[in-house]
């Protein structure tokens, strides 16, 4: 049975329903660690339908919830809409694009000085989101939670830098011992549509309440791709911070290296990163360690596309671990790998094409980081 998609349009600030409309050509993306998107087409075969679309679709102030067979699969903010008509007899249409609710924090600045001393990193993250929602007109209903991470941080942010809330959250998370975050959208047992700040240390995980999912090629996996790329790999790392007012030289992190990499035959590969607003060496070292770990552990992770009906997946797969088994000419002895799902892209069935999902995967292996000295 073919799944049915519809778009539920709501006022962004109150979540009051404005209209529910069928949407075609749906593509939805959701990720851990970056903003997901949605695109689709609303058709207007007559003036009455066009009026409904115009009343419900206001970029920048309309929330979009995508339902698949009346179950919420995606939520976000409608940012663009392009209405058009043609003389070729096709109905008028509106092409809409939206982004997950975390995109709102890209449009909010920290306009007050902010200080946190030895404070749990989750509490700092919640304070940043709460700042965005406490201003006049700023509350879009993101629920914050209260669980701790157990890791304390000290951070100072200046309003004169006009930092975006989203950038501060990403930088806070992207350090050694950091965390992951996303806005989780779902309908609770009471039928309410929920936007929840989901935090995970060191990662967001879910067991999905059942045994590990196994995806086979051939089988539910329709295609796969292993992208081999060493252009951004590094065995050694140093980061630069803010420039000192007295020496005119930037703050430098402790030089770091991957223990055992050159001994195992790897060439010396340098990497750098810049953090022009960081003024303390401890914070800069945390960023450098995280950047080196990311540059070294970019393992070859497959990109897979599955038949959604055959695989029986839902967006709840985000954060879960799957096992992929491949048997073809590239893997004559067979291949099995365990990965965590960090991205989920769904394309609705169209014109005889099956409903598919492309999974963005991640691995958990990390290298050991050593200290080269000051």
Model pLDDT, residue 314: 92
Strands 221-225 and 114-120: unpaired
Give the integer Cα–Cα distance in Å for 317 and 222: 18
Cβ atoms of residues 262 and 271 within 8 Å:
no
Model pLDDT, residue 211: 72
Q: What is the pTM of this model?
A: 0.82
Q: Which of 74, 68, 82 is nearest to 99 (CA)?
A: 74
Model pLDDT, residue 269: 96
Q: Which of 100, 26, 12 is nearest to 56 (CA)?
A: 12
Model pLDDT, residue 210: 59
Cβ atoms of residues 291 and 237 within 8 Å:
yes
Model pLDDT, residue 299: 72
Of the options 2.30.300.10, 2.70.98.60, 3.40.30.10, 3.30.450.20, the CATH number for the domain spanning 5-101 = 2.30.300.10
Model pLDDT, residue 227: 87
Model pLDDT, residue 1: 67
CATH class of the 108-200 domain in this structure: alpha beta
3-state secondary structure of 286: helix
Cβ atoms of residues 201 and 122 within 8 Å:
yes
Model pLDDT, residue 350: 80
CA 177 to chain centre: 19
Bridge partner residues of 107 (DSSP): none
- For each of the chain's 374 residues, which pLDDT tens digit applies? 678 899 999 999 999 999 999 999 999 999 999 999 999 999 999 999 999 999 999 999 999 999 999 899 999 999 999 999 987 777 899 999 999 999 999 999 999 999 999 999 999 999 999 999 999 999 999 999 999 999 999 999 999 999 999 999 999 999 989 999 999 999 999 999 999 999 999 999 886 555 789 999 999 999 999 888 888 899 999 999 999 888 889 999 999 999 999 999 999 999 999 998 898 999 999 999 999 998 997 777 888 999 998 999 999 999 999 999 999 998 878 899 999 999 999 998 887 788 999 999 987 443 334 444 43
Give the integer Cα–Cα distance in Å for 316 and 354: 20
């Amino acid at each position: 049975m073919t799944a049915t998609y519809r778009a539920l349009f709501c006022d962004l600030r109150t979540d009051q329903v404005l209209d529910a409309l069928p949407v075609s050509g749906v593509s939805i993306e959701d990720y851990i660690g970056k903003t997901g998107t949605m695109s689709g087409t609303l058709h207007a075969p007559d003036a009455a339908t066009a009026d409904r679309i115009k009343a419900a679709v206001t970029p920048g102030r309309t929330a979009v919830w995508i339902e698949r067979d009346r179950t919420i699969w995606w939520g976000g903010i409608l940012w663009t809409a392009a209405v058009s008509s043609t003389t070729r007899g096709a109905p008028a249409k509106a092409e809409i694009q939206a982004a997950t609710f975390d995109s709102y924090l890209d449009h909010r600045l920290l306009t007050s000085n902010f200080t946190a001393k030895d404070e749990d990193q989750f509490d700092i993250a919640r304070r940043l989101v709460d700042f965005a929602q406490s201003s006049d007109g700023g509350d879009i209903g993101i629920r914050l939670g209260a669980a701790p991470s157990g890791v304390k941080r000290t951070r100072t942010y200046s309003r004169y830098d006009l930092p975006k809330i989203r950038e501060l959250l990403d930088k806070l998370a992207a350090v050694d011992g950091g965390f992951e975050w996303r806005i989780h959208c779902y309908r609770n047992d009471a039928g309410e549509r929920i936007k929840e700040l989901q935090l995970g240390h060191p990662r967001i995980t879910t067991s999905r309440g059942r045994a590990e999912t196994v995806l086979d090629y051939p089988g539910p996996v329709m295609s796969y791709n292993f992208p081999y790329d060493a252009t951004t790999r590094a065995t050694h790392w140093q980061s630069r911070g803010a420039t000192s007012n007295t020496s005119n030289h930037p703050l430098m992190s402790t030089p770091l290296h991957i223990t055992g990499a050159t001994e195992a035959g790897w060439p010396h590969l340098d990497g750098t990163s810049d953090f022009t607003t960081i003024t303390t060496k401890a914070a800069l070292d945390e960023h450098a360690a995280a950047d080196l770990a990311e540059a070294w552990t970019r393992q070859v992770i497959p990109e897979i596309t599955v038949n959604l009906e055959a695989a029986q997946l839902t967006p709840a797969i985000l954060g879960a671990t799957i096992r992929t088994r491949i048997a073809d000419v590239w893997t004559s002895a067979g291949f099995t790998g365990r990965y965590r799902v960090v991205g989920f892209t769904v394309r609705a069935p169209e014109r005889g094409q099956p409903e598919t999902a492309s999974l963005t995967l991640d691995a958990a292996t990390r290298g050991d980081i050593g200290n080269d000295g000051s």
